């Protein structure tokens, strides 16, 4: 597939990249912490200042700004004649604690540059073209990940905002008061117009593009995630008096079954398995662990593969605990299906990459993104740009100016096809 009408879509990727770096640098001042990195949690003063700064940037570039009920900020390139489904592009403005200045922010800045470049070069689009800065994605201050994009989608589909969950932050402030304190502007009816397509640029947060020496990642799917607690119960006892043969050591058993699972996981292409959280009882230096509980996070793009691995986990847990005379309880507490991106948008991004002369390859996203909120009901796609060393959610997260510029050039071409040529899947 190729973009039918090819105007002089030749912005300089280098200058787009320079502009992106300048904007990212300015945005990074909001929430920058002395320990290093950026902590910009939803509805905090740093978050509010960042949104206000973005609103000023949007206005200065001739975009019409508006807000919705939960503090998502939009900057619209208005079409010559009103109406039509809007094309939405952007990412999230919140960060993790001591995060970097690219996760989320790169997508907002890229969208802002792309939409204003198109407007300055070709005038008004044929469909409303909205840059969005989503209020929240990370689920750090409140356990409400994708709060921004899910409410943006609800508004676009004419639904009421999600009822405010009864959740507190670590200072005991509930989300309702946090919203009140953020003093948000009133919601605009523009946020309730239907969305025709959603495109998000994001840093890869992995190292596949860098390893392959490829410029652009065309995201084919966001992987599904399943999470479990594995509770292994053995028998606590004295570290010095109980012989190795007589013990039922819950930690030894947990380690052995985890090792077995890690080996099996490594043999399945693209599957990831992580045991990141551990609780040991009684957790004392001179006592044999009596009970060990740990988390399992399993990700893959195929639901069937996740089902198969779920059976594998059950089998390994019961076999190994039986061998070691321990007992086990497995609890599944999260099951998020894989989210494929829209095939036409995937093709559009690939073709835009080729036309621009940048190398591209299909990639899976191992992390969740706002695009997965939209993908179920709106044609959606994602453009990845390389992350140095695959580092993210850390102060040394980095993507070069050139890499950003190439991604923005591709985004420009995709948005041109969608909003100017009204190519809607
Ligand atoms: Zn992100």
Distance 79 CA to ligand 1 centre (A): 29
Domains of the chain: 13-222+338-420 (3.40.630.10), 224-336 (3.30.70.360)
Distance 388 CA to ligand 1 centre (A): 15
Query: Whole-angstrom Cα distance, residue 246 to residue 252?
Result: 13
Distance 107 CA to ligand 1 centre (A): 8
Query: Whole-angstrom Cα distance, residue 372 to residue 174?
Result: 26
- From its phi and psi, is residue 46 left (phi > 0), alpha (psi between -120 and 50) or beta? alpha
Distance 137 CA to ligand 1 centre (A): 7
Distance 365 CA to ligand 1 centre (A): 11
Distance 103 CA to ligand 1 centre (A): 5
Distance 41 CA to ligand 1 centre (A): 13
pLDDT grade, residue 297 (50/70/90)? very high
Give the closest residue to 209 by CA, choosing from 360, 15, 420, 311: 360
- Per the prediction, the chain carries an average pLDDT of 95
Task: Note the pLDDT tens digit of each residue in 238-248.
Answer: 999 999 999 99
Distance 35 CA to ligand 1 centre (A): 21
Distance 349 CA to ligand 1 centre (A): 19
Residue 108 · residue 68 · CB < 8 Å: no
Distance 93 CA to ligand 1 centre (A): 9
Query: Whole-angstrom Cα distance, residue 221 to residue 117?
Result: 29
Query: Whole-angstrom Cα distance, residue 4 to residue 13?
Result: 22
Task: Note the pLDDT tens digit of each residue in 141-200.
Answer: 998 889 999 999 999 999 988 888 889 999 999 999 999 999 999 999 999 999 999 999
CB atoms inside a 10 Å sphere around CB 376: 11
Distance 330 CA to ligand 1 centre (A): 30
Query: Whole-angstrom Cα distance, residue 218 to residue 365?
Result: 10
Percent of the chain having pLDDT more than 70? 98
Distance 178 CA to ligand 1 centre (A): 22
Helix or strand (DSSP H, E) at 197: strand 195-203
Instruction: Tell whether the torsion through CA atoms of 37, 42, 48 and 53 is positive or negative.
Output: positive
Query: Whole-angstrom Cα distance, residue 385 to residue 321?
Result: 44
Distance 4 CA to ligand 1 centre (A): 32
Distance 278 CA to ligand 1 centre (A): 26
Surface-to-core class of residue 280, CB atoms within 10 Å of its CB (0-12 exposed, 13-18 middle, 19+ buried): middle
Distance 213 CA to ligand 1 centre (A): 22
Query: Whole-angstrom Cα distance, residue 143 to residue 192?
Result: 25
pLDDT of residue 9: 65
Of the two residues 80 and 388, the one the predictor is more confident about is: 388
DSSP letters along 46-92, please?
HHHHHHHHHHHHHHHTTPEEEE-TT--EEEEE--SS--SPEEEEEEE
pLDDT of residue 8: 62
pLDDT grade, residue 1 (50/70/90)? very low
Whether omega for the bond prior to residue 282 falls within 30 degrees of 0, making it cis, is yes
Distance 51 CA to ligand 1 centre (A): 16
Task: Note the pLDDT tens digit of each residue in 38-87.
Answer: 999 999 999 999 999 999 999 999 999 999 999 999 999 999 888 899 99
Residues 338-362, mean pLDDT to the nearest whole number: 97
Examine the pLDDT at 2 and tell me if it is beyond 60. Answer: no
pLDDT of residue 241: 96
Query: Whole-angstrom Cα distance, residue 233 to residue 213?
Result: 47
b/e code 244-269 from CB counts within 10 Å (16+ = b): eeebbbbbbbbbbbbebbeebbeeee
pLDDT of residue 7: 53
């Amino acid at each position: 597939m190729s973009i039918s009408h090819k105007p002089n879509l030749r912005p300089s990727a280098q200058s787009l990249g320079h502009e992106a770096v300048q904007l990212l640098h300015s945005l990074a001042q909001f929430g920058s912490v002395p320990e290093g990195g950026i902590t910009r949690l939803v509805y905090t003063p740093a978050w509010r200042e960042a949104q206000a700064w973005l609103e000023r940037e949007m206005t200065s570039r001739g975009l019409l700004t508006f807000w919705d009920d939960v503090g998502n900020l939009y900057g619209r390139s208005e079409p010559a004649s009103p109406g039509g489904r809007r094309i939405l592009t952007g990412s999230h403005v919140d960060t993790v604690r001591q995060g970097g200045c690219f996760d989320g922010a790169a997508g907002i800045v890229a969208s802002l540059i792309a939409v204003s470049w198109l407007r300055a070069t070709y005038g008004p689009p044929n469909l409303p073209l909205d840059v969005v800065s989503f209020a929240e994605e990370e689920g750090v201050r409140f356990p409400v990940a994708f709060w921004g994009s899910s409410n943006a989608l609800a508004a676009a589909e004419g639904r009421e905002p999600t009822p405010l969950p009864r959740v507190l932050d670590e200072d005991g402030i509930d989300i309702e008061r946090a919203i009140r304190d953020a003093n948000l502007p009133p919601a605009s009816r523009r946020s309730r117009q239907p969305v025709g397509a959603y495109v998000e640029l994001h840093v890869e947060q992995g190292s596949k593009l860098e390893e392959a020496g490829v410029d652009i990642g065309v995201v084919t799917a966001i992987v599904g995630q399943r999470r479990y607690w594995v509770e292994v119960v053995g028998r606590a006892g004295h570290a010095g008096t109980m012989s190795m043969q007589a013990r039922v050591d819950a930690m030894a058993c947990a380690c052995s079954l985890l090792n077995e699972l890690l080996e099996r996981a490594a043999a399945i292409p693209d599957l990831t398995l992580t045991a990141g959280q551990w609780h040991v009882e009684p957790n004392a230096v001179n006592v044999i662990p009596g009970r060990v509980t740990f988390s399992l996070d399993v990700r893959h793009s195929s639901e069937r593969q996740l089902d198969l691995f779920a059976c594998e986990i059950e089998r390994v847990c019961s076999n190994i605990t039986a061998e070691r005379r321990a007992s086990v309880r497995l609890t599944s507490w999260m099951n998020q299906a894989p989210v494929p991106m829209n095939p036409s948008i995937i093709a559009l991004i690939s073709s835009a990459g080729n036309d621009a002369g940048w190398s591209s390859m299909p990639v899976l996203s191992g992390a969740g993104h706002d695009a997965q909120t939209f993908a179920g009901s709106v044609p959606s796609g994602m453009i990845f740009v390389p992350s140095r060393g695959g580092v993210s959610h850390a102060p040394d997260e980095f993507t070069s100016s050139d890499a950003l510029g190439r991604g923005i050039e591709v985004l420009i071409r995709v948005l041109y096809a969608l909003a100017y040529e009204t190519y809607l899947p």
